Amino acid sequence: MNIVLLGYGKMGKAIEPIALERGHQIAARIDATNRTELETLDADSVDVVIEFSSPESAVENIKTCLERGWPVVCGTTGWLSHRTEIEQLCADKKGAFFYASNYSIGVNLFFRLNKTLAKFMRNYPSYHASMTEIHHTEKKDAPSGTAITLAEGLLENLPNLNGWVEQPTDKQAQITSTDAVAIESLREGTVPGTHIVRFDSDVDRIEIAHIAHSRQGFAVGAVVAAEWVQGRTGVFSMDDLLDA
């Protein structure tokens, strides 16, 4: 495949060697410094675009690619208020759009474990769900897209919950509401990604966690998604890939 890396930061640079090792070519590396090149690329020279840019740039990036007939594998988070608009454009253009808040196979198995645990906890309202996510200091959005996906998995399966809220890191301002999932977001050093889901009661705590050791798991998943989406039309997620 000829791949455009749209966003050439940490993730773009992690994806590149994996794509090359798997026999693909990099048609272009696009970031904020050469964004205009996206408009001038030969449409027929691109098989798929892997988009890891920024929340501010993602929507226009995705629109441009779908307008040009390119399948898009997007890992940028923080833009999902526009998701309906993007999915409609994908349908109108009969294109392919693959979105995941996290491309790690391990994380996506963790999503499923999170939902299973939530189902077990339905009949035990004395336990209150909360979450902590930790990422590197350069991550721009908070909570992370992965944390929001985990929260959505809890909300789907726990009828006593009605939403999620950001948990202040100031211990004097801790949220104690029992009808919302409190998400604490910490930014520390170069941490690639840690997510902890906990259920607390007065007598004990149940906790599950996913700790990424590097970005390689995310990068491999993004390339596998780009390979999988070839020849398909529609809107897809990691569930589609894992269940294929």
Domain map of the chain by residue range? 2-103+216-243, 105-211
Considering only CA atoms, which of 15, 93, 91, 9 is closest in space to residue 58?
Answer: 9
- Is residue 124 marked as binding? no
- If one counts every other C-beta atom within 10 angstroms of the C-beta of residue 102, the result is 27
Element (H, E) at 89: helix 83-93
pTM for this prediction? 0.79
What pLDDT does residue 138 have? 87
Rounded to whole angstroms, how far apart are CA atoms 199 and 119?
12
Position 169 scores a pLDDT of 67
- Residue 127, helix vs strand vs coil: coil
- The secondary structure of 142-178 as a DSSP string is SS-HHHHHHHHHHHHH-TT---EEEEPSSGGG----S
- Residues annotated as catalytic (active site), given as ranges: 135, 139
How big is the chain by its Cα radius of gyration, in Å?
19
Q: What is the pLDDT of residues 182-222, one digit of tens each?
A: 999 999 999 999 999 999 999 999 999 999 998 899 999 99
Report the amino acid identity of residue 213: H
Domain 2-103+216-243, classified CATH 3.40.50.720, yes or no: yes
Average pLDDT, the chain: 93
100 has binding-site annotation = yes
Phi, psi values for residue 49, rounded to 5°: -115, 130
| CATH value of 105-211 in 3.20.20.140, 3.30.420.40, 3.30.420.10, 3.30.360.10 | 3.30.360.10
12 is in an annotated binding site: no
Average pLDDT over residues 101-118: 94
User: Binding site annotation covers 145?
Assistant: yes
103 annotated binding-site participant: yes
| Residue 54 in marked binding region | no
Sheet holding 25-30, edge to edge: 25-30, 2-6, 48-51, 72-74, 96-99, 234-236
pLDDT (0 to 100) of residue 223: 97
- List of residues 6+ apart from 55 with CB closer than 8 A: 76, 77, 78, 79, 140, 141
Q: What is the pLDDT of residue 221?
A: 95
pLDDT in tens, 50-99: 999 999 999 999 999 999 999 999 999 889 999 999 999 999 999 999 99
Q: Are 242 and 40 in contact (CB under 8 A)?
A: no
